[in-house]
Amino acid sequence: MEIVVNLSRSYLTNCGEEGHSNDRFPAAVVAGARTRYAVIDTVDMEELVGVSLEPGGFARLFRERADVLLDATIDLREVWRGSDLIDRLSEAASPIDKLRALEMLLTQLYDHGKGRSQLLVQSLYLFDRVGLSVAECARSAGVSERRLSELFRERVGVSPKMWCRIGRFQMALRALHNGADVRWSELALKCGYYDQSHFANDFRAFSGLNPTTYCTGRRPWQNHVAIQ
């Protein structure tokens, strides 16, 4: 989940998934967790500032549940508890001053009483580092799968199963970005997919590309692909 603020003009471009929309977002938005890819207009990146929230960190800045913003981008003013963020940042003279002003605002709004629950921290570790399934994680943590799902939806924005799907996709993406030379079927099994078909379907759903297209060119960023 991210906070994004355009300081060069009064809006952000809403490209949709096709990349050619003329719709607009407000200049300051909060973007929820996503289960699909997004297209970004590089003209918005002339003077941009943003905040990437760690899983479970949304509650420390906002009142709402994280899953309210699933696959959504909304006006930051609808949920922001502080003063006008754009005005405060625009008054700062240099990029460093803008970042310092943003950090100060975040520090003032940060709710220390809403820390990440130990169950969430433990579950993220079991999913991301140990590689347990949702059922295995729930048993290890001593809670029901329903309780685990409710916690993830409220604090992270997605269900535990979707979190694991995204994790498998990111594992495959890292391997491809690093130039792994393996058969698709081997890579799929290594990353926890049932078969190559499930791997290909998830790859297209999350990236909008098939693995072969992704591998056709080298790029500096794992999760960003330039399109025309």
Task: Look up residue 97 and give its amino acid.
Answer: D
- Fold for domain 118-214? Arc Repressor Mutant, subunit A (1.10.10)
Q: What is the pLDDT of residue 55?
A: 92
Structural domain spans, the chain: 2-109, 118-214
Residue 123 to residue 157: CA distance in whole angstroms: 15
Q: For 135-182, what is each residue's pLDDT tens digit?
A: 999 999 999 999 999 999 999 999 999 999 999 999 999 999 988 787
Q: For 4-20, what is each residue's pLDDT tens digit?
A: 999 999 999 998 777 66
Task: Look up residue 111 and give its amino acid.
Answer: D
Please give the structure tokens belonging to residue 216: 């056709």
Q: What is the pLDDT of residue 20?
A: 64
| pLDDT band at residue 77 under the 50/70/90 scheme | confident
Residue 167 to residue 161: CA distance in whole angstroms: 10
C-alpha distances in Å from residue 123, one per residue of 15, 56, 213? 34, 11, 34
Q: What is the pLDDT of residue 200?
A: 94
Q: Are 33 and 82 in contact (CB under 8 A)?
A: no
| pLDDT band at residue 128 under the 50/70/90 scheme | very high
